[in-house]
Amino acid sequence: MRQTTKEALAQALETLLLKRSIEKISVKDIAAQCGVNRQTFYYHFHDIYDLIEWTLVREIESYIDLHFEKETDWQEKIRLLFHYFYLHKPVILHAYDSTNRIQYERIMVKRAAETVGEIIELYPQAQRVPEDKREFICMIYARGITALFLEWVEAGMPDERHVKLEDYFVIMDGSMENALEKFLK
């Protein structure tokens, strides 16, 4: 029951974002769109960005379940994610304006750092690197990809080939081992 309310709110937000941009959408609008009241919204979410985060994470996870294979390498995963965002261009452009960039940065950095963290753990050297150093490496990588993504959105999300992902991969490839080695205890 609770899950469906959350889903309904997520759906309502997406519907509204197809029509207009985020600064013209209030909690009241979202609640009305799915036939509940404001308090129901706040029972589940702290604010609109909390809802956006929940929706994004959930949708990306189901997209990943569908498209990522065990053998998909990390470069292909990033390509697929950018493609996913490209497919949702109208909603994302409506959800983003430069005044709320900080909100998206927060969400993206947090999630990206978690993912990088999982990748780091796969390296045998990781066990011999202090925790705070590993966290630092995560943040550097997370901030890099987040900036790349947000700048692409700010440019109006042209064809995803404009992101220069291939150049990014050239720099990143093998760099993580290098970073870990430098922090070995």
Partner 1 sequence: MDTSNRMVRFGLKKAFEYIERDPEENLPKLMDWVDRFAPKGDEGFPVQRAAFRKVIEDRDCAMHRLMIRIFTQTDKEVLKAVFENFIINGNLVGWPRQEELRERYGCNIPWAILLDPTSACNLHCTGCWAAEYGNRLNLSFDEIDSIIMQGKELGVYIYIYTGGEPLVRKRDLIALCRKHSDCQFLCFTNATLIDEEFAQEMLSVKNFMPAISVEGFEAATDERRGSGTYRRVVEAMSLLKEKHLPFGISCCYTSQNFASISSDEYFDQMVEWGASFVWYFHYMPIGNDAVPELLPTPKQREFMYHKIREARRNKPIFAMDFQNDGEFVQGCIAGGRRYFHINANGDCDPCVFIHYSNANIREMSLLDVLRSPIFMAYHDGQPFNDNHLMPCPMLENPDKLREMVERTGAHSTDLQSPETAEHLCEKCKAYAEHWSPTASQLWECSQREKESYPAGE
Interacting residue ranges for partner 1, rule: CB under 8 A? 37-47
Sequence-distant (≥ 6) Cβ neighbours of residue 79 within 8 angstroms: 165
| CA-based torsion, 132, 134, 53, 153: positive or negative | positive
Shortest Cβ distance from residue 27 to partner 1 (Å)?
9
Give the nearest distance from C-beta 109 to partner 1 in angstroms: 16
Structure tokens at 116: 């990088």
Smaller CB separation from partner 1, 38 or 101:
38
Residue owning tokens 């780091």: 120
Looking at the Cβ atoms of 42 and 68, the one nearer to partner 1 is 42
- We find the least distance from the C-beta atom of residue 163 to partner 1, in angstroms, to be 32
Integer Cα distance of 50 and 107 in angstroms: 9
Q: How far is the CB of 28 from partner 1 (least distance, A)?
A: 10
Comparing CB distances to partner 1, the nearer of 24 and 38 is: 38
Which DSSP helix (H) or strand (E) runs through 58? helix 48-67
Judged by beta carbon, residue 20 or residue 46, the one nearer partner 1 is 46
